[in-house]
Amino acid sequence: MRTAIAILALLVGSSALAALAPDAQAAGTQRLAVFGDTGTSGSTQANVNLALSEGATGYLGLGDYYYSDTVAHWMAMLSPLTSKGHWLALGNHDDYGALVSLMPSGPQWSVDINGARVVAINTEARMDVGSAQYNAVRGELCNAQESVRVLVMHKPWWLLSGALHPGTEFPGSPSAMDAMVRDCKVSLVLSGHEHNYQRMTRNGIAYAIVGTGGESLYPVAGSPSGTVASCSCYGHLVLDLGASGYSAHWETTSGSTRDAWSFTAPTTTPPPPPSTGSATFTGESGNEWWVQVYVSGSPTAVSVRDATANGAWTALVHQSWGAWAKSVHVLPGNAVQFQATLPGGAVATSCVMAHPGGSCVGGGFAATFTNARGNAWWVEADVAATGGTLVGVDASVNGGPWVPLSHTSWGSWAKSISAPAGSQVRFRADASGGATSVSGSYAWPPP
């Protein structure tokens, strides 16, 4: 096999097929078999058998599975592989209802596989900039906690005219997708649809088409610049995936490796965690033209707002007698609220208080907002509450309507919302009894 590899390297250039002979599976990785356009032919069975013999522990499908055959027959043929693990992208020949049990969560999904973030696009739905799916996919990729990020789908966007399925069949903008892949630091892009194997690199990122599952083969055509390997052959991609990178090699159903490469995620020093401290607000007093409060917890700044009018936050001054105060017009009987910025960037918010006197209204509900983060299409923060039960968190961009956020599995509150650079974003915590607590305004995106 190595002699054949050496000959192939001479034909296509040694730099394109560096390290063609695949290494043994690295410790800490999970081995997946990746292919689409499978059908139920002898070549399909050969792909399954070879993948199992080489230790595959799951199937990452790239769409178009059983064609004119029955789904039951296809499932029976693939079950020795899918029973170990299954993550299927939806293809144009597929019935979602028949395959839903093999998809993580709907036709567009996002999962962690062995410490890597894998996100699927449903290419039977629109993926235009600003569409619901575009916003969701961009948010899932750009804000993934994982350093290794893989984007999978059925229809590619990068094939040129001459291919049987050129990029014009993708339901969105190719240039916008390339920008998303670059901006979100995607490590690998995978698709099917064109019944051959092609890999290119763009912006240092690998894009591979693996439509070689067994249904039929197309001649290689429409290859863009940056293409480094191709084959009109049946076979599959062996993907060893882990938290620190991946290695991949494409092989024919006879076990002949035709392409191989790897990726190691860059190591970075994580920033220090933000402060998660709190502040205590006491001794609120004043009159119609004066507001002051005492704050413990080493705040670096304190501000106040007229909570009745839901007004803007006004910075207070740390007075020589220890209070934070300023001449602010608040009618007696109106409500005020304070926020303190703590060392490290956390923002603590007081309960809503009746002015003057400082007695909490609405049950004394208060929230602390920490680790605000995101980008032009994502808003996220950690929120803790006291004096009530936190039932929801909303965000407002540039004074616009409050948009409910979702409570993520890792504990934050987040959503894909348009927040262009330079926007001002505020968060609002909601209590079960109807009380609210509002953060200060964050210049977006936060540093």
Query: Domain with 26 in it: what CATH number?
Result: 3.60.21.10
- My answer on whether 377 and 345 are in the same domain is yes
Instruction: Give the burial string for 137-162 (b: 16+ CB within 10 Å, else e).
Output: bbbbbbbbebbbbbbbbbbbbbbeee
- My answer on whether 255 and 163 are in the same domain is yes
- My answer on whether 299 and 236 are in the same domain is no
d(CA 127, CA 153): 12
Q: Which of 236, 264, 292 is the last residue of a domain?
A: 264
- My answer on whether 260 and 284 are in the same domain is no
Q: Is residue 272 part of a domain?
A: no
Confidence at residue 446, expressed as pLDDT on a 0 to 100 scale = 83
- My answer on whether 246 and 303 are in the same domain is no
d(CA 38, CA 160): 23
- My answer on whether 260 and 304 are in the same domain is no
d(CA 54, CA 73): 24
- My answer on whether 374 and 419 are in the same domain is yes
What pTM, to 2 d.p., does this model score? Answer: 0.61
Domains identified in the chain, total number: 2
pLDDT per residue over 250-293, tens digit each? 999 999 999 999 999 987 555 444 445 577 888 888 888 998 98
Q: Is residue 271 part of a domain?
A: no
Q: Is residue 275 part of a domain?
A: no
Q: Which of 232, 264, 296 is the last residue of a domain?
A: 264
Residue with token string 């804000």: 143
- My answer on whether 24 and 164 are in the same domain is yes
Q: What are the distances in angstroms from CA 133 to CA 109, 136, 140, 150, 182?
A: 10, 5, 10, 16, 18
Confidence at residue 5, expressed as pLDDT on a 0 to 100 scale = 38
Q: Does 419 score more than 70 pLDDT?
A: yes
> How many CB atoms are located within 10 Å of the residue 114 CB?
20
d(CA 234, CA 46): 9
Range of the domain at 110: 2-264
Averaged pLDDT, 356-374: 77
- My answer on whether 252 and 376 are in the same domain is no
Q: Is residue 417 part of a domain?
A: yes
pLDDT per residue over 142-197, tens digit each? 888 899 999 999 999 999 999 999 999 999 999 999 999 998 999 999 999 999 99
- My answer on whether 122 and 240 are in the same domain is yes
Confidence at residue 335, expressed as pLDDT on a 0 to 100 scale = 78
Q: Is residue 274 part of a domain?
A: no
Q: Which of 205, 240, 264 is the last residue of a domain?
A: 264
Read off the CATH number of the domain in which 334 is found. Answer: 2.60.40.760
Q: Is residue 273 part of a domain?
A: no
Confidence at residue 310, expressed as pLDDT on a 0 to 100 scale = 57
pLDDT per residue over 300-332, tens digit each? 887 777 666 556 778 888 999 988 989 988 887
- My answer on whether 320 and 400 are in the same domain is yes
Q: Does 90 score more than 90 pLDDT?
A: yes
